[in-house]
Structure 1
Amino acid sequence: MAKIDYIVMALYLVGILSVGFMLSRKVKSSGDLFAAGGRSPWWASGLSAFMTMFSAGTFVVWGGIAYERGLVAVSINLCYGVAALAAGYFLAGRWKNLGIDSPAEYVSLRFGKPALHLYTWTMLVFRMVGVAVALYALAKIMVALMPLGEGVPFRDPATGNLGLHWAVFLFGLVVVVYTMVGGLWAVLMTDVLQFIVLTLAVLFVASMILLKAVDAGASLQQIPENFLKPTSGEYGMLFLAGWAAIHFFMIGAEWAFVQRYLCVENARAAKKATYLFAALYLVSPVLWFLPPMVFRVIEPGLDKEQAYILACQSVLPAGMVGLMVAAMFSATASMVSSQLNVFAGVLTQDIYKRLLRPDSSEQELVRVGRIATALLGFSLIGIALMVPRMGGAERVIVALTSLIVTPLLAPSVWGLLRKNTSLGHVFITVAICFMAGLVTYAIKNGLISLPSGFLSEWANWVRRYAQSADVLVGVVLPVVLLLFLDLSSFKRTNPGWTRLVSHEPEPIDSAGTHPGRMPACIVAGGMGACGVMMLGILPFNNEGHGMLILFAAVMLGLAAAILFTVRRTREQGKVQERWGVEKH
C-alpha cells in the first residue's frame, strides 16, 4: 500500500466513527438503541441485512472457489437471494406484526424462560466466537497488505507490516465505539455507507480486471473445462437446495436479521427490506466473483485463497487499494456491529429489564445497553487476540455450537407459523439433531471408526460427501422431526401461541427520533466523499485516469441527484404544510 492508501483508509475509519457520534443524538431510549425507534427506512434495513451476511471470508473462501471452480461460487451465493425471497414472503411481515421489541422476547413468549436461556447463551457463544474468528481472519488478510516503515507505531518488527494484534485491536475498537454510541441507527447507516464503499470498490475492480484480460489477449478457449457450470463436485444440486434451506431458516429467524424486520415502521416495510436484500443477492454475486474468475484465465495456478487479493492488487491504482481494504473491513464490520447490537439488546431488554430490574428507567437502560455493548465488544476482541493460541479449539467450538444453532432456528420459524409447536418440540429437535451432528462431525474428522458393513459404507459416504451430509443433518433431519412432532400434536394449541397472539406491545418512547431526511443525506454525503476521494488520488497515479474520472463523475452525480430530491421533497412538504394551515 502507498501512503495515499493509508490516508484513504484513515479517512474512511474517521468517517464511520463520525457517523456513529452524529447519530448518538438520536438515541433517547432503549428502543432507539436497539430498534431505531421502529423508524428505520426499509431500504436502510434491507441494505444492512445484505451487509450483515458479508465477511472477509466472502472474498477469501467464496473468492477462492470462484477462482478454482468458477460459476459454482455464484450459484452458492445466489441461494442467499432465493432464501431471502422466501423469508420475505413467509416470515418478515409476521415478525413485525407480532408487536415485540426483540427476537428474544418472541422466544420467551412462545416457548418460555428455559428456551430464552437456551437460545440466548447458545447463540451468544456461537456468534461471539464465530465473529471473533472472522475479525482475526480479517486482520490477518489486511496486515499482509499494510507494510509500515521503520519507527512507525504498531509495526511488527518480524514482518515489517502492521502488527496482527494491533490490527485486531484497532479494527475491533472502531466497530465497538460506533456501535456503542450510536446504537442500531449507527449500525444501519454505517452499513449503508459500507455498502457504497464495497460496491464502488468491487465495480472498479471488475471493470479494471476485464480491461486487463482484454489487454492480455485472454480468450474463451483459455477457460478451464466445467468452469462455467453452475454445479461442481460436492457442490451439486442437493447441496444448493440444502444451502438455500439452511439460509431460509437463518435469514428468517436468526436474531440479527429479525432485528432488521422489527426496526422498520410496518409489515409492508419489513417485506420490502427483505425483498431488497434478496434482489441484491440475486444480482450481485456475478459482479463479486468476476475478478477471481477472470484472473484465473490471466494468471492460472495461484493459491486460491489469495486469488481475490492478488487480482485487486494487479489492477488497482494507488488510493484504490486503500478503498478495497476499507471494503474488506466493511464486510466484517457490518457482521460484527450487528451481532454486538442484537446481543447487547437481548442482555439489556430481555435479561436485565425483564428478569432483574423491571422498573428500570429508559435512561438506565440506555446506559446499561452501552455498557453491555462495550463488554461484549472487548470480550470479542479478547477472543480474537487469543485465536492463534487456541490451536484450533475455536473451530471446534464453532462447529459444535453450530450443531445446535440450526436446529434452534427451525423450531423458531415453525413456532411462528404453527400454533401447536411447544418447548418440548424445541428440546427434542435440538437434542436429536445435536447427537446426529456430533456423530457426523466425529466421522468426518476421523475421530471414530465404525464396524464393516452398512455403517462403514455410510461413514465412507459421509466423508466423501461431507457437504451433503451437513445438509441432511442440518436441514432435512430437523424439518422431518418438526413435521412428525407437528402431526403428533395436530389439534393442540400450545399456551405459548396464546401468549404470543394476545401480547400487547409496550409503547416505545422514541419521540423526536424520526429520521426524516437524515438517512438520504448520509448516503449522499458518502457518495460525494467517494467521488471527491477518487478525484483526489488522480495526481498519485500515472494510469487509469479515465476510469477514476468516470467513477468519480457517477458518484458525484448520484450524490447531487439525491440531495436535489431531498431538497425538492422538503420544499413540497413546506408548501403542503402551509396549505394545510391556511385551509384550517
Structure 2
Amino acid sequence: MIKSANYLDFIVVGLYFFVMILCGFLLAKANKNDKDFFKGGSIIPWPMVSLSLFITAFSAYMFVAAAGQVYKVGIPAFVIYTSTAIAYLYITMYFAKRYRRTRVTSPMEYVEMRFGPLTKSIMTLLQIPVLMLMAGNMLYVLCIFLSSALGLKGNFEILGLNLTGLHVCMVIVGIVVIAYTATGGLLAVIVTDAVQFIIAIIASSLLAFYSIREFSEDGTFITNMQNYISNPPHPGYFHPINDLQPFAFTLGWIMIQVFSHPGSMQVIQRSICVPDEKAAKKSFGLSTVFFLLIPILWLMPVFLLRNKLPLEELKALWPHIKNPAEASYITIALKLLPNGMIGLVISAILAASISTLAGCYNIVSVIFTKDIYQKFSPNTSSRKLMTVGRVSSLFIGIISICIGLVLSGLADAFKTTFTIVSLVSIAVSFPIMLGLMFKKAPAWTGGVAIIVCLIVTSSIEFIIPAINSISPNGFCAQITNHAFEYKVFVSVLVSLVVFGISILFKKPSSHTDSSAKLFELLDKPISQDEVTGTVVLIPSIRAYRVIALSLVIFGVPLFLCKLFNITKDPNYINMSAGICFVTLAGLIYWLTSMKYSPITIVRDQKQYLK
C-alpha cells in the first residue's frame, strides 16, 4: 500500500527548514570579520568538516537518478557511486595538508598565487556563472522532487502572482538557504551540513533496516539473497560490469572523480577552514570512509526490493516522471514508513541537495567578495568585507532562484545545464590539481591548459556531432555516441600533456614571486603559533551545542507521534527515529561538556601560552 504525505510530513519538513534558519542566526555571532565568515577563522572542528565534505558531494541525485541507475543496472551502479572514495583517499594522502599550508582565505587566492592574475581572472569568469547555473538547476531538480513528494499540485495565488507548486517550493527552499548562509557564513554552512548528515543517516538507516526486513519476509535473508542471485532482474545485474553500464562509461566516471575532486573549490575551502594540516587530513580521511560505505546504505533499499517494484507499477504511480525508476527510492519509503517518517525521508533528500546548494552560494560569495570586490577596493576593512559577503550571498541566492524559475520553463534545461557544467568543470579542475603536482610547471601553464581543454571538449560536444550529422562516418559517430567518455579521457590527456610540455620551456623567471612564495609555504608546516589556540574553544562549543539543539527539535516531535498515537505505527518507527535524535543530541552535549569543561579551557590556555 502506497501512502501519501499528510500534515505530519509537512510539519517535519517545516521543522527541517526552521532548524536550518535557526542554525544560521545562532552562529552569526561567531563571525567577527571576513576570515571568520569565509573560512570559519580556520578553527572549525575537523569532524564537522568531514561530515560537510561528504554531504555536499551529493544531492537529490543520489536518491533519484542514482536510485534509478541501481534499479536499471544493479551492482555496476555501486561501483561508480562509491568511486569518490578513491579521490578522497588520494586527497587525504597528498592534497589536504598542502592546501592547508597555502594559508589562503579563498580558493581563488591559491589560484592567483600558483598561476598568476590572468589565470585567476579566467577561472573567476568561468566559475561564477557555472556555479550559479549549477545552483539554479539544483534548486529546480530538487523542487521537482519536493513538489511531487508533498503532493503540491495545481496553482497558488501569492501576492497577486499565480505560482505552481514547483515555483512555490523553489522560492521557499531558496529563501531558507539564503537565510542561513548570509547570516552564519561558512561556520553555519558546515554546522547545518553536519545536522543534515545526521538527518540523512538516521532516515536512510531506518529505511534500509525495514527494507532488509521486507526482503527477508518470506524466509531468511541469506536464502532470499541466494534466490535473488539465481533469478536476477536481468543477466549481469550482479556483475560489476554489464551491457547496460559499459566498462568505458564506468572508467570515465571513476576518472572524473579522481581527477576533478582534488581540484574543486569545495575541497580547497574545506582544507583551509580547519586549525592545522593534521586536522585537514583527519577530515578527509573520515570522509573517505563515508564515501565508501554510505552510498551502499542509501541505495540498498532499491537494490534489495527491485523485484518487488515492477516498472509498470512505478509508471502507474508516477506517470509524470520521464524515468519512473528514479522514483523507486521514495516509493519504497511511502510503502514501508509511517507518516512523519516519510517527512523525515523527504528532509533527508532535501538535506543532500540543500547542503550542496549552500556550498555553491558560499563559494560564489567568497569569489565575488575576496577576488572581485576587494580587488577594486583593497583598503576595505575586514568587517566591511564580511558585510559585503552577506549582501552578495543574498543576491546570489535571489539570482539562483530566478535561474531555477527560468529553467522550469525550458524544454531542454537538464541537458543544456549538464553540457555547460561538464565542459567547464573538467577544464578547470584538472589544472588546479596539477598545479600542486607539477612544481616545475611555469605559472602560465594553468591558463593554457584551461583554454586548450575548453577548445577540445567543446569540439567533442558540438563540432564533431555537427560534422557527423552533415557527413556521417564511423569515427565521428563513435565520438558522438560516447561524448562523455571522450571528454573525460581527452581532458586528462590534454592537461597532462600541457603541463608536461611546459616544463621543457621553463625559465628561471617562469615562476612569479607569489608562485615561489607558495611553494615555500608548502614546505613549511603549520606552526603552533599560527593556530588560534583557546579561541577555538568558544566557536566549537557553540557549534556542537547548536547541532545538539537542532537534533532535539527534530527528535521530540517524532517521539511524540507515537507517544500520543498520532500515527498508526505498529513498528514504533517514528519513536525509534526520535530516540536516535535525542540520544545523539545528549551524547554530543555530554562529550562537549567533558572536552570543553572550565578546567580543560584553563589547562589548554596555559599550554598555549607556553
Give the TM-score of the pair, scaled to structure 1: 0.90
Amino acid at match of 2:500: L
Alignment-derived partner of residue 223 in structure 1: 232
Alignment-derived partner of residue 334 in structure 1: 355
Amino acid at match of 2:258: F
1:564 is the counterpart of 2:584:
no
Amino acid at match of 2:381: S
Offset from partner CA, 1:298-345 (integer Å, 9 cap, x none): 112232122122122111211111111111211111111111111111
Alignment-derived partner of residue 452 in structure 2: 432
Contact residue 216 and residue 298 of structure 1 kept, 8 A: no
Aligned positions of 1:109-508 closer than 5 A: 109-147=113-151, 163-215=165-217, 219-220=227-228, 221-224=230-233, 225-233=235-243, 235-301=245-311, 302=314, 303-353=324-374, 355-392=375-412, 395-396=415-416, 398-442=418-462, 448-449=468-469, 451=471, 456-487=473-504, 489=506, 494-495=511-512, 496-501=514-519
Offset from partner CA, 1:223-246 (integer Å, 9 cap, x none): 323222222336444444443332
For 1:24 and 1:307, locate their aligned partners in 2 and report how far apart those are by CA, in whole Å.
39
Offset from partner CA, 1:504-552 (integer Å, 9 cap, x none): 99x9999967423223323333443443233122223223433444444
Alignment-derived partner of residue 541 in structure 1: 567
Cα offset, 1:24, TM superposition = 0.5
Offset from partner CA, 1:407-428 (integer Å, 9 cap, x none): 2221212222323323432233
Contact residue 118 and residue 447 of structure 2 kept, 8 A: no
Cα offset, 1:399, TM superposition = 1.4
Residue 188 of structure 1: SS of its match in structure 2? helix
Residue 358 of structure 1: SS of its match in structure 2? coil
Number of residue pairs matched by the alignment: 576
1:38 is the counterpart of 2:42:
yes
Aligned positions of 1:566-581 closer than 5 A: 566-571=592-597, 573=599, 577=603
Amino acid at match of 2:515: W
For 1:238 and 1:546, locate their aligned partners in 2 and report how far apart those are by CA, in whole Å.
46
Q: 1:417 to 1:150 in 2, by over 3 A?
A: closer
Q: 1:394 to 1:205 in 2, by over 3 A?
A: closer
Offset from partner CA, 1:139-161 (integer Å, 9 cap, x none): 11111122369998769999xx9
Contact residue 131 and residue 364 of structure 2 kept, 8 A: no
Identity %, equivalent residues: 25
Contact residue 468 and residue 476 of structure 2 kept, 8 A: no
Q: Please list every run of 5 or more consecutive structure 1 residues that lacks an aligned counterpart in the other structure.
A: none
For 2:586 and 2:412, locate their aligned partners in 1 and report how far apart those are by CA, in whole Å.
50
Residue 545 of structure 1: SS of its match in structure 2? coil
For 2:449 and 2:304, locate their aligned partners in 1 and report how far apart those are by CA, in whole Å.
44
For 1:464 and 1:151, locate their aligned partners in 2 and report how far apart those are by CA, in whole Å.
40
1:528 is the counterpart of 2:528:
no
Which deviates more from structure 2 when the two are superposed, residues 443-452 or residues 332-341?
443-452
Residue 515 of structure 1: SS of its match in structure 2? helix
Q: 1:383 to 1:450 in 2, by over 3 A?
A: same
For 1:376 and 1:447, locate their aligned partners in 2 and report how far apart those are by CA, in whole Å.
39
Residue 359 of structure 1: SS of its match in structure 2? coil
Contact residue 57 and residue 134 of structure 1 kept, 8 A: no
Offset from partner CA, 1:471-516 (integer Å, 9 cap, x none): 21332332233333335549885225214235799x9999967423
Alignment-derived partner of residue 541 in structure 2: 517
Cα offset, 1:8, TM superposition = 0.9
Cα offset, 1:347, TM superposition = 1.2
Cα offset, 1:365, TM superposition = 0.8
Residue 150 of structure 2: SS of its match in structure 1? coil
For 2:561 and 2:128, locate their aligned partners in 1 and report how far apart those are by CA, in whole Å.
42
Residue 132 of structure 1: SS of its match in structure 2? helix
For 2:157 and 2:241, locate their aligned partners in 1 and report how far apart those are by CA, in whole Å.
47
For 1:393 and 1:9, locate their aligned partners in 2 and report how far apart those are by CA, in whole Å.
27
For 1:239 and 1:268, locate their aligned partners in 2 and report how far apart those are by CA, in whole Å.
36
Amino acid at match of 2:547: V
Contact residue 73 and residue 289 of structure 1 kept, 8 A: no
Residue 215 of structure 1: SS of its match in structure 2? coil
Amino acid at match of 2:213: L
Which deviates more from structure 2 when the two are superposed, residues 119-128 or residues 509-518?
509-518
Contact residue 107 and residue 115 of structure 1 kept, 8 A: yes
Residue 200 of structure 2: SS of its match in structure 1? helix
Residue 265 of structure 1: SS of its match in structure 2? coil
Which deviates more from structure 2 when the two are superposed, residues 547-556 or residues 425-434?
547-556
Aligned positions of 1:51-62 closer than 5 A: 51-62=55-66
For 1:305 and 1:297, locate their aligned partners in 2 and report how far apart those are by CA, in whole Å.
15
For 2:218 and 2:146, locate their aligned partners in 1 and report how far apart those are by CA, in whole Å.
28
Give the TM-score of the pair, scaled to structure 2: 0.86
Cα offset, 1:285, TM superposition = 1.4
Cα offset, 1:25, TM superposition = 0.8
Offset from partner CA, 1:5-32 (integer Å, 9 cap, x none): 1111111111111111000011110011
For 2:466 and 2:64, locate their aligned partners in 1 and report how far apart those are by CA, in whole Å.
26
Q: 1:6 aligns with which of 7, 10, 19?
A: 10
Cα offset, 1:197, TM superposition = 0.7
Which deviates more from structure 2 when the two are superposed, residues 224-233 or residues 393-402?
393-402
Cα offset, 1:44, TM superposition = 0.8
Contact residue 442 and residue 448 of structure 1 kept, 8 A: no
Contact residue 100 and residue 271 of structure 2 kept, 8 A: yes
